[in-house]
Amino acid sequence: MENGSSGSALLEVIGLEVVYHRAVTAVQGVSLTAEERSITALVGTNGAGKSTTLAAIAGFMRAEDVRITEGDVLFDGASIKGRRNDQISAMGIGYVPEREKIFPTLSVLENLTACRPRSGSDRAMSIEQVYDLFPRLAERPNTIAGYLSGGERQMLAISMALLGGPRLLLIDEMTLGLAPIVVESLVETVTRLRDEHNVTILVVEQNASTGIEMADYIYVMENGRIAFDGPPDRLLQHEDFQEFYLGMEREGGRKHYQDVKQYRRKRRWFG
Ligand SMILES: Nc1ncnc2c1ncn2[C@@H]1O[C@H](COP(=O)(O)OP(=O)(O)OP(=O)(O)O)[C@@H](O)[C@H]1O
Ligand SMILES: [Mg+2]
């Protein structure tokens, strides 16, 4: 086994194809695996199809005309393709979307209370448990969520997804736009979720070095496809990953943004 730590796939995406408006194929034959109790990162540039992939897994496709046209999604060995997001959520998959993930006019505590599961699953987390994971939220239960900082909103959104006790947590753009110290704290928390709460995590991450830091396994997406994948140590040796995702210094000096654009163009045409 190469991905993750325990050797059994909790999530298997097989040859997934997703089409918007019967015209735009945003995801083209994507296959990926999230091993139980691992952190898997989906890295890639804007428009690569990361959010579409995550939303398709969660059954949460907001656009009125979007369809899974090929492939399958297996959760714990059973197909969940085509199920509604509430059914998927009840099966043990939590989803933190890219945008609109909290109720901005409600307080922190009201947001959490609204997400408490009706019937108690034995994995369900209490509000005290999420406060323990995110002490910043515990300090401001009565703050109106719309006034929280970006990092605090993300903490609240993750907490809301955790209350149902998910076995698999999907987080879109966990760290986008957040200060390095907040990124560190979120990385620490997802690591605790994996290690102490047995949660399997699939996270979309635009910052490749954050992906390297936190993930057990990484998939790099370009133009609707997985371009390459591997554990962090292997990707660190991958030339394209070094040059275009980490922007490392090489003998010719740091790669220019123009070169990166050139590279993306090249991959779009010939990739
Ligand atoms: N509602 C929609 N209708 C039509 N096309 C869409 C829709 N949402 C996304 N797309 C297209 O699908 C492709 C993939 O978009 P997606 O949002 O999945 O990418 P992403 O990798 O998450 O990008 P970003 O890093 O900007 O969040 C893009 O070409 C995008 O324009
Ligand atoms: Mg996205």
* Ligand nearest to the CA of residue 24, numbered in listed order: 1
| Tally of helices (H runs) and strands (E runs) in the chain | 11, 10
Question: Range of 185's domain?
Answer: 9-237
Burial group, residue 119, by CB count within 10 angstroms (0-12, 13-18, 19+): exposed
pLDDT in tens, the chain (271 residues): 455 444 689 999 999 999 999 899 999 999 999 999 999 999 998 899 999 999 999 998 765 688 999 999 999 999 999 899 999 999 999 999 988 889 999 999 999 999 887 776 778 899 999 999 999 999 999 999 999 999 999 999 999 999 999 999 999 999 999 999 999 999 999 999 999 999 999 999 988 999 999 999 999 999 999 999 999 999 999 888 888 788 754 444 445 544 555 555 555 544 4
Q: What is the domain-level CATH number for residue 30?
A: 3.40.50.300
Q: Do residues 214 and 39 touch, judged by C-beta distance below 8 A? A: yes
Q: Is the CB of 51 under 6 A from ligand 1?
A: yes
The helix (H) or strand (E) run that includes residue 111 is: helix 108-114
Is 260 domain-assigned? Answer: no
Alpha-helix residue ranges (DSSP H) falling in 48-165: 50-58, 85-90, 108-114, 127-133, 135-138, 150-162
What is the number of domains present in the chain? Answer: 1
Residues 6+ apart with CB under 8 A from 191: 39, 214
Q: Is the CB of 56 under 6 A from ligand 1?
A: no
Least distant ligand from the CA of 50:
1
* Residue whose CA is at the smallest distance from ligand 1 atom 18: 49
26 lines ligand 1 (CB under 6 A): yes
Per the document, the length of the chain is: 271
What is the 8-class DSSP label of residue 125? P
Does residue 133 belong to any structural domain of this protein? yes
On whether the CB atoms of residues 220 and 245 are closer than 8 A, the answer is yes
- C-beta 21 within 6 A of ligand 1: yes
Tokens of 103: 């109720």
Residue 199: its pLDDT value, please?
A: 97
In a domain, 256, yes or no: no
Q: Are 212 and 218 in contact (CB under 8 A)?
A: yes
Confirm whether 102 is domain-assigned. yes
- The verdict on the CB of residue 3 being under 6 Å from ligand 1 is no
pLDDT of residue 210: 94
- Decide if 267 is inside a domain: no
Let me know if residue 148 belongs to a domain. Answer: yes
Residues 32/226, Cβ–Cβ less than 8 Å: yes
Nearest CA to ligand 1 atom 7: 20
Q: How many Å apart are CA 169 and CA 171, to the nearest integer?
A: 6
Specify if 185 maps to a domain.
yes
pLDDT given for residue 165 in this prediction: 94
Secondary structure letter of residue 1 according to DSSP: -
Give burial (CB, 10 Å; 0-12/13-18/19+) of 76: middle
252 falls within a domain: no
| Closest C-alpha residue for ligand 1 atom 14 | 49
